[in-house]
Amino acid sequence: MKKIFALILLFVTVQIQAQKFDGLAETPPMGWNSWNTFGTNINEQLVKDIADKFVELGLKDAGYEYIVLDDGWMAKERDENGNLVPDPVKFPNGMKAVADYVHSKGLKFGLYNCAGAQTCAGYPGSRGYEYQDARSYASWDVDYLKYDWCNTEKLNAEGAYMTMRDALKAAGRPVVFSICEWGDNEPWKWAKDIGHLWRVTGDIINCWDCEVGHGSWSSWGIWKIIDMRKDIRSAAGPGHWNDLDMMEVGNGMTDAEDRSHFAMWSIMTSPLIMGNDLRSATKETIKTLSNKEVVAINQDELGIQGFRFTNENGIEIWLKPLANNAWAMVFVNMKNEEVEIDFDFAKHDIGDDVHGRMLEPKHNVYSIRDLFNHKNLGDTSKSMKAKIGVHDVLMIKLEKK
Ligand code: GLA
């Protein structure tokens, strides 16, 4: 009898552990990550400054929540008990103090590690230390873990990410689990019950449509990422998102390109993780990042990832179904000259076959709201005319009248 009880208990325990934390990231996570701008050059003061800026610049109010330290926060060696140690120079008061500061602002705190023996920048990885590291994160009140894929020789990706998921679960503190294996093993096919978001490509770089080679791997411009992964939209939904990578808004593209980048990440329901230096960001950058009408498209409760309608004559047109039969629509000018569009809604009924939804301007009239200029543009009973600058975007919301 005792044996049977023990077996049932074991079974129940395993069942409880073998799940990710539910109820997290019900809409795409929003926040900031240190990597794109700072690399491993990070420290306590930077985190505090960023947290202050979240509040001061209205980013917290716009919905940004997580402040995530990427690679480079650790000392090069574990301590004598195998525990991870924050770099004592960069983080002289330890990680709990940093997390406490972030929490005191009503924000959440995240860290980075790697499934391999070492992180990509050569710091101690979690391979073989998963449960111990998860307990460290819990003891420091960490809310989000980005988990990378360098130095993972012969590891199986699904298995390695399951191990870390179970370790986080066992440590007991709810953590958003951000899978970062660059899409190499097609996580959109297996990671739904393991992580809350997963990277779908190699690293982003701050250009419109370039590929920058680094020998065995490449960095990808905005449109390379979009084109590569436009066909996996059925994998995204509340609690499990295709992650197009940390944004490059404010990192050197034109303001128009930044707006298009932000519009596309929003319509594709990607997590919105800023990657710029908020201490020196221009007004225009902050205006783009904190645009609540665009953020609302990304955060729509249905969590449906958008899709390409057409990309003819240098204009990309994308659509995304929203709650209450509303739709978001994006027109991006891919040309190096201003274009004039003239879109006759009455000619189009557009279906989203994957999610069984229809935009029906042939049979219904929808009001049109311009989300970057914050004004109403009439309705779909007339064709919509607009000028769009080089690499700029017109993003609209359509609501049934
Ligand atoms: C990989 C990831 C990046 C970043 C670096 C850190 O390249 O894809 O996002 O975390 O490692 O070394």
Span 231-283, pLDDT tens digits: 999 999 999 999 999 999 999 999 999 999 999 999 999 999 999 999 999 99
Contacts of 81 (CB under 8 A, 6+ apart): none
Q: Which amino acid is at 195?
A: G
**333-352 tens-digit pLDDT:** 999 999 999 999 999 999 99
Question: Can you give the pTM of this predicted structure?
Answer: 0.95
For ligand 1, is residue 148 a contact (CB within 6 Å)?
Answer: yes
Instruction: Give the mean model confidence (pLDDT) for residues 358-368.
Output: 95
CA of 271 to the centre of ligand 1 (A): 16
Please give the C-alpha separations between residue 215 and each of 146, 208, 293, 327, in angstroms, as whole numbers.
Answer: 25, 21, 41, 42
Contacts of 216 (CB under 8 A, 6+ apart): none
CA distance 13 to 9: 6
Domains parsed from the chain with CATH numbers = 19-298 (3.20.20.70), 307-400 (2.60.40.1180)
- Look up 22 and say whether it is catalytic: no
Instruction: Write the pLDDT tens digit of every residue in 72-91.
Output: 999 999 999 999 999 999 99
pLDDT over threshold 60, residue 35: yes
Question: Which of 203, 258, 352, 392 is labelled catalytic?
Answer: 203
Residue range 129-171, pLDDT digits in tens: 999 999 999 999 999 999 999 999 999 999 999 999 999 999 9
Closest-CA residue, ligand 1 atom 9, reads 203
Atom 8 of ligand 1 has which residue's CA nearest to it? 203
Tell me how far apart the alpha carbons of residues 13 and 354 are, in angstroms, rounded to a whole number: 36
Residue 288 pLDDT greater than 60, yes or no: yes
